Amino acid sequence: MDESTDPARPQNHSTDSSVAPTKRIGRERRANRRESIRANAAAIRRRSFTAGMWATRAPIWMWPALLIITAIGGALRLFNLGFPHRLIFDETYYVKDAYSVFTFGYERSWPENADDSFNAGDPSVIESTPEYVVHPPLGKWIIGAGIHLFGADDSFGWRFSVAIVGTLTIFLMGFIAWKLFRSAFFACVAAGLLSIDGEHFVHSRTSLLDIVLMGFVLLAFAFIVVDREFVTKRFAKYTASSGSSERSRDRRPLPRKDLINFGPRLGVRPWLIAAGISLGLAMGVKWSGLYALAAFGILVVAWDVHSRHHAGIVHPWLGVLIRDSIPAFIKLVPVALLTYIVTWTGWIRSADAWDRQWAFDNGGWWSSLPDWLLWLPSLAHYHYTAYSFHVGLDSEHPYMSNPWGWIVQWRPTSFYYESPDLGSMGCTVDHCSSAITSVGNPVIWGLAPIAILVALVAWIIRRDVRAGVILAGLAATWLPWFAYQERTIFTFYTIVMVPFVVLAFTYCLTLLWGKVPTPAAATTPAVAASSAVAAAEHTDVATDPATAPADTSVASHLTPKPRGPLFAGRGTRIPWSLFGRRMTVGLILVAAIMAFAYFWPIYTGEVIPFEAWNNRMWNVTWR
């Protein structure tokens, strides 16, 4: 039978039946080719992957240096901490609430003009009725610890806890800077810059919640950085085992294909759990800690993908999704939420706190719950009313500011101001001023916009992970406020973003500092590959730019010999251009120290002539 007349064969479809398989085969071949290219590239990355900068140890002198910087910063913060001997700015809320929380377990109400009695050392005027407050209790518990230690009649004790928190964050800043930059010198620089920043200094001497919030956010950030070190070393072991398998196929089996495609599981990750606890504590101080939880969660995912990619995982995104997305989420988010609930223990255990009996007095689905669990719907209702208050807060205030101006300190907040005349408060001229103004160090904040732009360019163009991590912290503490521009918000909220501004500033100083060029040298292929990977990841193998040996610098074998005149000093020879850059770094640091000294009077409330105060108001919006 002729094939053209065979009824069992399709008619007029010869073209479709031949083209469809051809397209399918073509697509499969292209997909297989892409997969092969991806697998080969991953194998190259896997063979050259090392722990890089994370394996570098800090020089011994760095830790005593950081302790000395921290001690000096702490001494400056504790000096004359009891002045002024009265409640200033929002201390009128948080100090009295801290006394109430530490004494009764929850906030009680105060009569009108209670500040006068409290200033005189008599907190007995507190009432027995509960007070409605809109901030969680943890920050007030911490402030209350200082009050309990020194007594409610001691203004030094009111501010002692926040001064200690501020002091500890100086050391923490140096630790984080070491982990990110692997430079002992710039770790000390970052710690020193934080200690002389005006906002950080003033907040460390004023009993507000925001410095405590900053401390827990910075601690969570430190734990995430340490978790990255843990993860990188975990991947280094994985790549080492993979490499040995590939080199000895006759003795050891190759890793399973799914392990190469998706990578290993990352295990317990204790530092990520610690970060979750810290973020829960941050939310227990102020709800804005929730923004940090969201941003740091995204950072962890992005950093996991980046680490899997550089470790030679063929499908890093799928690897994160399949291997570690759910465990990492549990270690961070539920841990943070559980920790947050624990911070309400005093409210939960009380019987008379605000809204504590709401679920008993109002019927609903929760009526079927056992009595011991009715605190949960009561707490949920409390949060609902507090949230409604926050989003509806739009009353005018002379020091309210817009987030756009925060990065240049456009409208800093005045915490305290007095105008003593001759003979009053030690005034020796006709008219004096005594002010405490939360304005950042002009050198740091004047260059902060440039530093942030440089970090952004380095992240986008050079793909420098360190810049991206710093920007993530800045985004977590600054960008969310742009959604509330109509609310009553203040520049002093920027205390939470101060550490990340300092890190961005320090990062730019490391770029300006540069590295000493070394002659080209012959190296082994393994060393060359390791250096190339370190350079691609923008991680410094050399730790301290001032003391690191030349043969450990990043890709030193690829660095050309220096040209032009050299500056010779203390046994080293560097180009004059590099000497000029390092002198610039030194001048910037000296200028920051001098600015801090110049603004000291308006940071501490020192009585100075009015003209001296006016000379320090460099912007008309500062008054």
- pLDDT tens digits for range 466-502: 999 999 999 999 999 888 777 778 888 999 999 999 9
Q: Which of 207, 213, 391 is nearest to 290 (CA)?
A: 213
**How many distinct structural domains can be found in the chain?**
4
Same domain, 616 and 475: yes
Local structure of 395: helix, strand or coil: coil
Largest Cα span, the chain: 125
Same domain, 404 and 442: yes
Position 426 pLDDT exceeds 70: yes
Same domain, 416 and 482: yes
Q: For residues 498 and 506, what is the distance between their CA atoms, to the nearest angstrom?
A: 12
Same domain, 135 and 167: yes
Same domain, 381 and 441: no
130 vs 401, higher pLDDT: 130
Virtual torsion, Cα 444, 450, 451, 452, nearest 10 deg:
120
Same domain, 91 and 220: no
Residue that finishes a domain, picked among 392, 415, 447 = 392
Share of the chain above pLDDT 90, in %: 57
Same domain, 146 and 91: yes
Domain membership flag for residue 564: no
Position 545 pLDDT exceeds 80: no
Same domain, 374 and 407: no
Same domain, 481 and 603: yes
Strands of 439-512, DSSP E:
none
Convert 516-541 to b/e letters by CB count within 10 Å (16 or more is b): bbbeeeebeeeeebbbebbeebbbbb
pLDDT, tens only, 487-541: 778 888 999 999 999 999 999 999 999 887 765 443 444 444 444 444 444 443 3
The structure's pTM equals 0.86
Domain membership flag for residue 149: yes
Same domain, 427 and 490: yes
- For 587, the token pair is 């001048």
Domain membership flag for residue 251: no
Identify the top-confidence range among 255-264, 348-357, 388-397, 526-535.
348-357
Share of the chain above pLDDT 70, in %: 84
Least confident of 59-68, 232-241, 379-388, 457-466: 232-241
Least confident of 253-262, 341-350, 591-600: 253-262
Residue that finishes a domain, picked among 207, 229, 252 = 207
Model confidence at 614, pLDDT cuts 50, 70, 90, reads: very high
Domain membership flag for residue 200: yes
Same domain, 375 and 429: no
Rounded mean pLDDT, 327-351: 94
Domain membership flag for residue 539: no
Q: Which of 235, 219, 234, 131 is nearest to 176 (CA)?
A: 219
pLDDT in the model for residue 615? 94
The domain containing residue 323 runs over which residues? 210-238+261-349
Rounded mean pLDDT, 107-136: 92
Same domain, 111 and 222: no
Domain membership flag for residue 14: no
pLDDT, tens only, 233-283: 888 888 877 655 555 444 444 456 667 778 888 888 999 999 999 999 999
